[in-house]
């Protein structure tokens, strides 16, 4: 799943040159608002029942019980989703004026795309529940890359912004048909009795505020920028944000493995092993993420100029600093939160995210009018710092492991020296393509790891382990 998440996130980077080089900045901003809105509305329309499906199906073996659980949840989501769709259709013009800069075509397509996107989330959850992970991963990757491929074809054939939206719709329709056929062939069909519906809603609805808080923290800044500054500034903001957020890809291998490994050691009382795993996970994440944050910050304008346009790069490159170091803190949070998860302190996790989401909204409205899109970037860094520090503090009440601060200092020092080299080369030479940037990154990485060996931050054995991790 770690590799799957990396592949999926790469599509967000690949979409940047496709859209920014073929659309206006305003149209690119509308696309960002469209995808963010679909994600938000799918959370609301699913009522938290997608997670509920996984929870209640995972242990079921009896086909009759599987049919009852699956179709009870399916029809409830379908009914509520239908209400949401009707409301969106009735309010299509006002929503278009408010969010999509008056583009009524986009407003018309929103409920149609939402319908298939939301149901596909539920159908994918079925395969996740029964641990059909190869198929589940294939579906996720197909959803991302097929959408990208169709969008490329349509945009280059003159469909513009609507080409990207048609690509998203086409992909979701095809996946819906495939998954529906697959599920029907496995478990057939049944009209449910809804006898356990209250239990499903009682489990799923309380998850909704936390999910919405995740969305608010990660995406609400685009809405607020659009409201306060205009849709064009969403287009300036998003590429730099996406570039910095690449850092989060480095945490996926750990978040894929730790939830499966740590509970076993915790339940068996093997706290020494658990402590070692946590310490090494944090160390190796920082080993890669710290220099990456420095490098992305310094290379942001050059990379964005190549991936998008000089106009977007000049106005949005500073955002990469905020999101790169936010991603660094997010990695710390993701590792520490495993402690709270194994201790079943999920209410604290939810409270932290809800508090951070409120802080994010307030700070965005306060800072964006004065600092522009940099205010949104600063808000992201502040709120992720808030969540990460409090997660660290609370997690240490239940389990303590070394943060290896001496190693962190050495890593920051090595990354700083590496950055001096990067800075001199960036301003001495002009970089015209990603190959030249890639060569510079490789040279910088060699300098960093040599310095870390000299500082005795890592040894050659650990360096070989890092190479193996990167190859995987």
Q: For 130-161, how does the pLDDT look when each residue is reduced to its tens digit (9 = 90+)?
A: 777 788 788 888 888 888 888 889 988 888 89
- Average pLDDT in the 269-290 region? 88
- Give the Cβ contact number of residue 158 at 10 Å: 9
pTM given for the model: 0.83
pLDDT at site 2: 54
pLDDT at site 21: 87
State which of 60-69, 220-229, 340-349 shows the largest mean pLDDT: 220-229
Q: Is the pLDDT of residue 277 over 90?
A: no
Pick from 388, 401, 406: nearest CA to 272: 401
Distances (CA, A) of 353 to 205, 207, 217, 223, 358: 16, 12, 8, 19, 9
Which of the four pLDDT bands, split at 50, 70 and 90, describes residue 432? low
Distances (CA, A) of 433 to 241, 296, 306, 307: 20, 16, 6, 9
Q: Is the pLDDT of residue 6 over 90?
A: no
- Average pLDDT in the 223-252 region? 89
Instruction: For residues 326 and 381, give the distance between their C-alpha atoms in angstroms, rounded to a whole number.
Output: 5
Instruction: For residues 289 and 254, give the distance between their C-alpha atoms in angstroms, rounded to a whole number.
Output: 13
Do residues 57 and 130 make contact, with C-beta atoms less than 8 angstroms apart? yes
Q: Is the pLDDT of residue 1 over 60?
A: no
pLDDT at site 465: 57
* Cα 277 to the center of its chain, rounded Å: 24
pLDDT at site 9: 72
Which of the four pLDDT bands, split at 50, 70 and 90, describes residue 436? confident
pLDDT at site 417: 94
Three-state secondary structure of the chain: CHHHHHHHHHHHHHHHHHHHCCCCHHHHHHHHHHHHHHHHHHHHHHCCHHHHHHHHHCCCCCHHHHHHHHHHHHHHHHHHHHHHHHHHHHCHHHHHHHHCCCCHHHHHHHHHHHHHHHHHHHHHHHHHHCCCHHHHHHHHHHHHHHHHHHHHHHHHHHHCHHHHHHHHHHHHHHHHHHHHHHHHHHHCCCCCCCCCHHHHHHHHCCHHHHHHHHHHHHHHHHHHHHHHCCHHHHHHHHHHHHHHHHHHHHHHHHHHHHHHHHHHHHHCCCHHHHHHHHHHHHHHHHHHHHHHHHHHHHHHHHHHHHHCCHHHHHHHCCHHHHHHHHHHHHHHHHHHHHHHHHCCCHHHHHHHHHHHHHHHHHHHHHHHHHHCHHHHHHHHHHHHHHHHHHHHHHHCCCCCCCCCHHHHHHHHHHHHHHHHHHHHHHHHCCCCCHHHHHHHHHHHHHHHHHHHHHCCCCCHHHHHHHHHHHHC
State which of 155-164, 321-330, 349-358 shows the largest mean pLDDT: 321-330
Any long-range contacts for 37-41 (C-beta under 8 Å, 24+ apart)? 37/99, 37/110, 38/110, 38/113, 38/114, 38/117, 38/168, 39/215, 39/219, 40/212, 40/215, 40/219, 41/84, 41/88, 41/110, 41/114, 41/118
Which of the four pLDDT bands, split at 50, 70 and 90, describes residue 413? very high
Instruction: For residues 383 and 209, give the distance between their C-alpha atoms in angstroms, rounded to a whole number.
Output: 17
Which of the four pLDDT bands, split at 50, 70 and 90, describes residue 236? very high
- Average pLDDT in the 255-283 region? 81
State which of 8-12, 84-88, 260-264 shows the largest mean pLDDT: 84-88
- Average pLDDT in the 155-171 region? 91
Range from 118-127, 138-147, 317-326 carrying the lowest mean pLDDT: 138-147
- Tell which wins on pLDDT, 8 or 187: 187
For 358, the token pair is: 């409120």
């Amino acid at each position: 799943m770690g590799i799957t998440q990396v592949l999926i996130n790469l599509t967000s980077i690949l979409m940047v040159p496709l859209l920014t080089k073929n659309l206006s900045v305003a149209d690119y901003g509308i696309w960002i608002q469209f995808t963010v809105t679909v994600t938000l509305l799918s959370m609301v329309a699913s009522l938290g029942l997608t997670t509920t499906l996984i929870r209640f199906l995972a242990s079921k073996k009896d086909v009759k019980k599987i049919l009852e659980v699956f179709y009870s949840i399916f029809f409830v989501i379908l009914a509520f989703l239908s209400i949401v769709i009707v409301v969106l259709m009735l309010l299509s013009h006002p929503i278009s004026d408010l969010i999509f800069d008056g583009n009524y075509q986009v407003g018309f397509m929103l409920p149609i795309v939402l319908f298939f996107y939301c149901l596909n989330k539920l159908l994918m959850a079925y395969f996740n529940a029964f641990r059909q992970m190869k198929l589940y991963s294939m579906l996720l990757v197909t959803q991302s890359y097929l959408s990208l491929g169709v969008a490329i074809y349509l945009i280059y054939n003159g469909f513009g912004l609507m080409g990207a939206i048609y690509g998203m719709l086409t992909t979701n329709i095809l996946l819906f048909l495939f998954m529906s056929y697959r599920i029907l062939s496995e478990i057939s069909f049944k009209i449910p009795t809804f006898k356990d519906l209250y239990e499903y809603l009682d489990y799923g609805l309380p998850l909704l505020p936390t999910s919405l808080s995740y969305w608010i923290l990660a995406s609400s800044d685009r809405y607020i920028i659009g409201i306060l500054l205009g849709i064009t500034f969403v287009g300036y903001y998003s590429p730099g944000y996406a570039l910095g957020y690449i850092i989060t890809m480095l945490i996926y291998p750990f978040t894929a493995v730790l939830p499966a490994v740590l509970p076993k050691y915790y339940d068996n009382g093997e706290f020494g092993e658990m402590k070692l795993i946590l310490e090494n996970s944090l160390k190796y994440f920082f080993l890669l993420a710290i220099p990456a944050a420095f490098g992305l910050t310094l290379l942001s304008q050059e990379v964005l100029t190549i991936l998008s346009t000089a106009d977007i790069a000049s106005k949005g490159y500073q955002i990469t600093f905020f999101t790169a170091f936010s991603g660094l803190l997010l990695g710390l949070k993701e590792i520490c939160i495993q402690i709270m998860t194994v201790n079943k302190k999920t209410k604290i996790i939810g409270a932290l995210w809800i508090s951070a989401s409120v802080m994010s909204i307030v700070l965005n409205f306060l800072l964006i009018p004065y600092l522009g899109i940099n205010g949104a970037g600063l808000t992201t860094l502040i709120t992720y710092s808030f969540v990460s520090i409090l997660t660290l503090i609370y997690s240490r009440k239940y389990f303590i492991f070394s943060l290896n601060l001496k190693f962190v200092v050495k890593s920051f020092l090595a990354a700083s020296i590496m950055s001096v080299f990067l800075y001199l080369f960036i301003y001495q030479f002009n970089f015209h393509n990603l190959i030249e940037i890639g060569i510079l990154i490789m040279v910088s990485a060699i300098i960093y790891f040599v310095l870390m060996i000299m500082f005795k931050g890592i040894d050659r054995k650990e360096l070989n382990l890092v190479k193996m991790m990167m190859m995987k």
